[in-house]
Amino acid sequence: MTNIPTLSRQHVHRRSITLDGFIRDDGLIEVEAELKDTKTYGFPSVDRGFINPGDAIHHMKVRIAVDDQLEVREAEAKTLAGPYHICPSANDVFDQLIGLRIASGWRNKVRHAIGGRQGCTHITELMGPVATVVMQTFYGEESRRKRDDSTGEMDMTDSDSYIGLINSCVGYDEKSPVITRLWPNGIPDKQDKS
């Protein structure tokens, strides 16, 4: 970052999050995500002994696959490192995401299904960005295919899913120039299929 004045400081923590979206040969959309926390200093841990600088404190990987209705068909999680020996047991509830649909209320559904005392805070938090990458992968591929099949820009106005984006950000504000351009005669009634 530039132009933001800072005082002298010492780097102590890094969280790295990586997400990758795929279109599978069977038509499912798959997202793999990885979260890793490290410290720049070493410290003792009752469950793990001494944790060296740069060793993962938290290291989780998740994978979900969704169909074209954005319903979760497959879900798996793996805890490679956690602060306590019990942490990997949170992976046992991850398949409770199967059958949920990525739509409005996704984060609340995820917290109910895999959060709280049976789950892992870090994996639960990771599911927000996972949903975003599912959407980016799904709509990006849909857009690419429509462009490949025609000579123009994708027509977003024929998709209930795109209507679901209205008021989700400044670009999709119902009064923004983007929405006015897409729906010059007004936004059609939203069809909620969740």
Q: Name the residue ranges covered by the structural domains of the chain.
A: 13-133
155-183 burial by CB neighbour count: b if 16+ within 10 A, else e? ebeeeebbbbbbeeeeebeeeeeebeebb
Q: What is the mean pLDDT of residues 17-22?
A: 98
Res 160 pLDDT > 60: no
Residue 97, Cβ density class (10 Å: 0-12 exposed, 13-18 middle, ≥19 buried): buried
The pTM score is: 0.80
Cα–Cα distance between 124 and 115 in angstroms, integer? 6
Residue 125, Cβ density class (10 Å: 0-12 exposed, 13-18 middle, ≥19 buried): middle
Cα–Cα distance between 130 and 133 in angstroms, integer? 5
Q: What is the dihedral of CA 122, 127, 130, 135, to 10 degrees?
A: -160
Share of the chain above pLDDT 90, in %: 69
Res 96 pLDDT > 70: yes
Q: Which of 62-66, 118-122, 141-145 shows the lowest per-residue confidence on average (mean pLDDT)? A: 141-145
Phi/psi zone of residue 54: left (φ > 0), alpha (ψ -120 to 50 degrees), beta? left
Tokens of 139: 């709509």
pLDDT of 27: 95
